[in-house]
Structure 1
Amino acid sequence: MSAAESVDAQSLGRVSLVSRYTVFALVAMAANLVAQKLSWWIYQDAYGVLLSVCVGTGVGLLVKYALDKAWIFRYEHRSVAHGIETFARYVAMGLATTAIFWATEFIAQALFHTEAARLSGGALGLAIGYFAKYQLDKRFVFA
């Protein structure tokens, strides 16, 4: 394979990776936002928004972890303990990105006082957070 062919193959590999990551981020975002909506329908009392954001975050985290592990990083655990450790690192890397997501969502809620604004803010925060999360996961979780 020539150097030019190698660069083309790497570019195609990157495009495929970015495409998969984007689709999986969208799937996890949808799971997050649907879980928030369902949670909100069930409980709309004093802490309803906070509960819905927490439920959505948990659902999105589990969906994204499963997809990233299998299809982005093609990562295999050596044991159950190693799997738990890897998931714990994944969650830890997600703390900062979750802060971005939550801040964006709650700022949108505070500014516009509508569910549509809150969910739109959540979607924006998730998009920013997922970009940062990939970089962290590549270096510290699935390395």
Structure 2
Amino acid sequence: MNIAIRYIFFAITSLIVNLLFQYISFYIYNGFLSLYIAMFCGTIAGLILKYILDKKYIFYHKPKNKKDDGKKFLLYSLMGVFTTFIFWGFEIGFDLIFKTEMAKYIGAVFGLSIGYIIKYFLDKKFVFKD
């Protein structure tokens, strides 16, 4: 249970960092393609933080060297791409089905919850398996 609480806390922390970096990005630049630039900055910041926290406090992984750490981060990132599609699918699906502003946020919560649960098991099985 302790791991579950930490994992949820780290997910929320990562989300806050993501949004903070998006806000900073918009503050610095608010022109052509600024939304996509902000999403990219936020995603990278949240991903790096979550990887460090998960690696150290969830899976207790100590990389053998920088190359090993880089491989783990790449694999961790690829697992995140898969679960991001789940999150986006729920958010877009709820928006299309219910056609209300609140529905897409409810869909996002469902999608993120399912995505993070799946990501934990994917990371455990494929990323931090040793």
TM-score, length basis structure 1: 0.72
Q: Do 2:25 and 2:38's aligned partners in 1 also have CA atoms closer than 8 Å? A: yes
The runs of at least 4 aligned residues of structure 1 exceeding 4 Å deviation read 102-113, 120-123
1:73 pairs with one of 41, 51, 59 = 59
1:29 Cα deviation from its structure 2 partner: 0.8
Distance of 2:36 and 2:112 partners within structure 1: 16
Which stretches in structure 1 are left out of the alignment for 5+ residues?
A: 1-14
Distance of 2:106 and 2:23 partners within structure 1: 14
1:40 Cα deviation from its structure 2 partner: 2.1
- 1:5 maps to what in 2? none
- 1:44 maps to what in 2? 30
2:81 counterpart letter in structure 1? L
Larger Rg: 1
Distance of 2:28 and 2:103 partners within structure 1: 20
- 1:28 maps to what in 2? 14
Which stretches in structure 2 are left out of the alignment for 5+ residues?
A: none
- The two structures, once aligned, show a CA RMSD in angstroms of 2.8
TM-score, length basis structure 2: 0.79
Q: Give the 3-state SS of the residue equivalent to 1:74 in structure 2.
A: coil
Distance of 2:32 and 2:93 partners within structure 1: 18
1:24 Cα deviation from its structure 2 partner: 0.6
Distance of 2:80 and 2:41 partners within structure 1: 15
Residues 65-92 of structure 1 deviation map (CA, whole Å, 9 limit, x = unaligned): 0000000000011122111111111111
Q: What fraction of aligned residue pairs are identical, expressed as a percent?
A: 37
Q: Do 2:95 and 2:107's aligned partners in 1 also have CA atoms closer than 8 Å? A: no
